[in-house]
Amino acid sequence: MRVALGQFAAANNWQDNLEIVLDLVRRASAAGCDLLVLPEGILARDIADPEIVRKAAQPLNGPFMSALLEGSAALDLAIAFCLHVPSEGSGRVFNTHVVLRKGQIVASYRKLHLYDAFAAQESEHVAPGDLVPDLIEIAGLKVGLMTCYDVRFPELARYHAIQGADVLILPAAWVRGPGKEHHWETLVTARALENTCYVVAVGECGPRNIGASMVVDPLGVVTHRAGSQPTLILAELDPEGIARARADLPVLKNRRFGLAMLEAALHDAKGD
């Protein structure tokens, strides 16, 4: 699988962000990529207005998605990112990870774990999801979906791995702060190593968030890394490398906790 990591700083209006995304889509497609992963919350960002996620939210048939679906329909490229979608009746929104391919939405996942930590309160404006996403297949590999703060909870990544995931994709908007870059790299690396999966983690950059997008291989080696500026990184994910890692380090075979226990843990975590 050939993947592209499209790191950028979201503007405070969806029109500008759409132009950035369409440019990244064109560049990733021209490079022969199978998958482009973009950051979390790409409709709008305004660090002076914490309510921007509600004000800028759009339905999945809104103008941003409609234009992106139309602009990518002729391309053989899967595109993964997160945007905020209105939640009817709740006054909040869903932080929704979507995957597009050939003009269709092929996967949609509402973020389970909300960032109520380090003085932030994502749940003030965002409602939690309550379903674990299914795996999707891209270029012959099985892909599991996660979003930002989910990476701090190992149950979801392990559930995907038990279900057969080869790759975990993680759009994020990782907030700056003391030790936060260390947390990011440690957690992303751990999710790859403990599950012998590739992890493709793409962070928003800019004044609020660290960027630091990366690809980590199934033995926990960071193979590609971005800094704090907008960039497009290309990487190859090797199916044989996954097989070799799992032969040498058979943690998924050696585990003692079954799927039912993980499902119970995920059920207990819903809404946390």
- Helix (H) and strand (E) counts for the chain? 8, 13
The contacts of residue 123 (CB under 8 Å, 6+ apart) are 92, 114, 116
Write the DSSP symbol of residue 45: -
The contacts of residue 266 (CB under 8 Å, 6+ apart) are 112, 132, 155, 156, 159
The catalytic site residues sit at: 40, 111, 148
Q: What does each C-alpha distance from 39 to 147, 148, 171, 205 come to in angstroms?
A: 9, 9, 4, 9
d(CA 42, CA 17): 7
The contacts of residue 169 (CB under 8 Å, 6+ apart) are 35, 37, 80, 143, 144, 145, 146, 199, 200, 201, 202
d(CA 200, CA 214): 6
Task: Outline where 56-175 has alpha helix (H).
Answer: 63-72, 154-162
d(CA 220, CA 171): 19
